[in-house]
Amino acid sequence: MQPTEFETGVIKPIECVKEAWALIKDEYWILFAVSIVGAMIGGVSMYVLIGAMICGIFTVYLKKIDGGRVVFDDLWKGFKLFWPSLPLTLVMVVPIVVLMIVMFVTIYLPIITAAVMGSRANENAILGIFVAGVAVELVVSLIMVTIHSLLIFAFPLLVDRELSSWEAMKLSARAAVKNVGGITGLIVVNMGFGLLSAVTCGLAIYLLIPIITATSLVAYRKVFPKIGPTNFDPPPPNAYQGI
């Protein structure tokens, strides 16, 4: 299979979840640590390093999914992909920042204004702004979900196939369109995880991070099978005796 070739119709979301859990459960806690540390570094750096950390996290997870063992230090391999991943990072992060600004200006700001002005506030005007803000948020959210769905395979492709950001984005979009049913199912599954997290006051989401990450990468590996042999460990000392 060529680096730009992919499979279609192979994503079965529930099966991906089951397979992901079966693959990671023996090293769940170290994968949890990798995910949390990578996310914290990305956040503390004001998202400057988030792309590198995503690449490092995916490097660790893909190695596990392909039959290797988890090595925490593999997280730092993501720094080698800081510059190659930068355009993709901007495309992924900027819509989130835009959504946050839109939400603040159109939803939270009117609420704050009404609280500060008290009885002097024009309730009809504030309500109108709030309703318009909700509508804008829904539109922006839909655009953001669409972008993220089309680019769902972009970071794994950058790590696994060593493509540029532009090549990874184009190939991810092509593969996503051809596997729209499976990806929609993954989104629904993630919404289910989100509801579970809401029921537990947000605590479950942290524990679900390794499963969510592994599920997306199991789906990736089904669409983009491993190219070439997989050999993570050196042969034993006696492997070449008698040659």
CA distance 186 to 197: 16
pLDDT tens profile 95-142: 777 777 777 776 666 667 666 766 565 667 666 766 776 777 788 778
**What does the pLDDT average to over 173-202?**
89
**What does the pLDDT average to over 133-162?**
87
Residue 221, sorted as left (phi over 0), alpha (psi -120 to 50) or beta, turns out to be alpha
Task: Output the pLDDT for position 239.
Answer: 45
- In this structure, are residues 175 and 153 in contact, taking their beta carbons and an 8 Å threshold? yes
Residue 47 binned pLDDT confidence (cut-offs 50, 70, 90): confident
| Summary mean pLDDT of the chain | 86
Least reliable range by pLDDT among 55-64, 103-112, 181-190, 232-241? 232-241
**94-100, long-range: CB within 8 Å, 24+ apart, which pairs?**
95/140, 95/143, 95/144, 95/147, 95/148, 96/144, 98/140, 99/137, 99/140, 99/141, 99/144
Joined together, the tokens standing for residue 165 give 């950001």
Q: Model's pTM, two decimal places?
A: 0.84
Q: Among candidates 167, 159, 166, 165, which has minimal Cα distance to 220?
A: 159
Q: Where are the domains of the chain?
A: 13-91+153-223
- In this structure, are residues 210 and 35 in contact, taking their beta carbons and an 8 Å threshold? yes
Q: What is the dihedral of CA 33, 34, 37, 41, to 10 degrees?
A: -170
